[in-house]
Amino acid sequence: MEEDNILIQKCQLGEREAQRWLYDKYYLYLYNIVLRYVRGHHDTEDVVSEIFIRIFKHIHTLKTTENEGLKRWIKTIAINEALRFMKKKQRLVFTDEDHAFEHLAIIESAVEEPNVDQIRKIIDQMPIGYRTIFLMNVVEGLSHTEIAEHLEISRNTSKSQMLKARKFIQHKLNKDESRQFR
């Protein structure tokens, strides 16, 4: 972490070489975070550019890198920028309608272990509201309280969207499993 402290200090002094090094070090990390939310190379590139503008504009506020402070700070900026982009494009919609899943029988028993590609495809098919909450909770590790603050929704909306995301995944996995036996 001493390396990050030196990097931060040099970036705070406006040293272009340090800024380039920070960019090279974190570009792919940020790209992958944003891509999970935004979906699409060009939009992801645009959001990542905005993230680095925000990072360099506000790096003077960062004091320490204890407990991966720089990486966590950058990750928070990435999530916020991805969400801001989605809101601006009116892509972020949460449904209060339960009728979409009324017909589903939720099976608690586990299906065969799905592979990573299968899970990614299912997540990509999710409605944007479900997917956003699912990614923030499961992948990013945010609590429902933190998600509610980021998205300016209630904690209960976050929880219900997560439940719907899980139902969606279970339904798709069960559907795929039933196709195997036909």
All structural domains of the chain, each given as residue ranges with its CATH number in brackets, are 2-88 (1.10.1740.10), 99-180 (1.10.10.10)
Residues 87, 93, 94: CA angle, nearest 5 degrees: 130
Average pLDDT, rounded, for the chain:
81
pLDDT in tens, 62-100: 876 666 788 889 999 999 999 889 888 765 556 554 444
Cα–Cα dist 125/119, whole Å: 10
What would the mean pLDDT of 34-39 be, rounded to a whole number? Answer: 88
What would the mean pLDDT of 160-178 be, rounded to a whole number? Answer: 83
What would the mean pLDDT of 125-153 be, rounded to a whole number? Answer: 88
What would the mean pLDDT of 45-55 be, rounded to a whole number? Answer: 94
pTM for the structure as a whole? 0.66
DSSP state string for the chain: -HHHHHHHHHHHTT-HHHHHHHHHHHHHHHHHHHHHHH-SHHHHHHHHHHHHHHHHHHGGG----TTTHHHHHHHHHHHHHHHHHHHHTT--------GGGTT-----S--S---HHHHHHHHHHS-HHHHHHHIIIIIS---HHHHHHHHT--HHHHHHHHHHHHHHHHHHHHHHHHHHT-
What would the mean pLDDT of 2-12 be, rounded to a whole number? Answer: 86
Q: Is the pLDDT of residue 116 over 80?
A: no
Predicted local confidence at residue 152, as pLDDT: 84
Q: Is the pLDDT of residue 110 over 60?
A: no
Predicted local confidence at residue 88, as pLDDT: 82
Predicted local confidence at residue 92, as pLDDT: 59
What would the mean pLDDT of 37-52 be, rounded to a whole number? Answer: 91
